[in-house]
Amino acid sequence: MKAEELKYIVKEKYGQIATQSKIQNETSCCGATGSCSTVDYTIFSESYEKLKGYNADADLGLGCGIPTQFAGIKEGDSVLDLGSGAGNDCFVARAIVGETGHVTGIDFTDAMLTKAEANAKKLGFKNVEFVQGDIEDMPLPDNTFDVIVSNCVLNLVPDKDKAFAEIYRVLKPSGSFCVSDVVIKGDLPEKLRRDAEMYAGCVSGAIEMDDYLGMIHQKGFKQVTVHKQKEIEIPEEVLGNYLTKEEMVDLKNGNTGIFSITVSASKI
């Protein structure tokens, strides 16, 4: 499948997700309706409910970590959220930067942008904005942001090399990023990799953890740190849609695994 086809699938899928509730999204494969709606799939997400700035209307339950937790955001900072969805991480970041800071969310799904803008309007924020754009080619100026965050989004980007190059470009020279994302260890079975439904559902599209971290180093980032990693145990009801019983045994007994990680790095 070509990159543009993958982007189309992700855009269409997340356009549907934007119209669903948090409960609907959490009880399906990362928001992918119809394929495993009877499975409790909250194993990816972490609760934001006790965080300052949390807004329930912006929480669609799609994250795989809390990147703002390790991002080092300070009052007055300019923050960018990649794949900002309904604005969940943006509003948490805004609570940290305060009135003197600024938060920008970028997303390429119209329905998500509409939802995020409506949430910001209800909250009365003047220093939170949302822009439409592709993370591989962001319509944003160089050396603009103090901190960049992202939550369970970069694995959905076909060209992660371009994405990290863009992150480097738009960060200020002293800036840093912190992202929560999905990566794999070992060889993920091909059936999981190429299935479009699972691709838009957070698992396929992920790359090897070593390759992921290596890409960050290659772009010139320093102080690359993995703050958290959590193995994702995919329910047999889900795996059974893609793998034979023998393949499921191999997956569980081998060195192959799917992990959510939260990693930060600095542009120095």
Query: CATH number of the domain that 29 lies in?
Result: 3.40.50.150
DSSP 3-state helix, strand, coil percentages of the chain (rounded to 5)? 35, 25, 40
Question: What is the tally of structural domains in the chain?
Answer: 1
Planar angle of CA 181, 60, 261, nearest 5 degrees: 15
As a whole-number percent, the residues of the chain with pLDDT over 90 amount to: 58
Highest mean pLDDT of the ranges 149-163, 192-206, 242-256:
149-163
* Tokens 């209800």, located at residue: 122
pLDDT one-digit tens code per residue, 66-88: 999 999 999 999 999 999 999 99
| Backbone CA torsion sign across 205, 210, 215, 221 | positive
Helix (H, G, I), strand (E, B) or coil at 214: helix
pLDDT confidence of 253, banded at 50, 70, 90? Answer: confident
pLDDT value at 154 more than 80: yes
Least confident of 17-26, 41-50, 112-121: 17-26
**Token representation of residue 50:** 């006790």
Cβ neighbourhood burial of 125 (10 Å; 0-12, 13-18, 19+): middle
Confidence at residue 9, expressed as pLDDT on a 0 to 100 scale: 76
Cβ 68 vs Cβ 241: under 8 Å: no
pLDDT confidence of 197, banded at 50, 70, 90? Answer: low
For 107, the domain range is 3-266
Strands 171-185 and 257-266: antiparallel
Query: Does the global pTM surpass 0.95?
Result: no
Q: What are phi and psi of 229, to 5 degrees?
A: -145, 140
pLDDT value at 226 more than 90: yes
DSSP state, 67? G
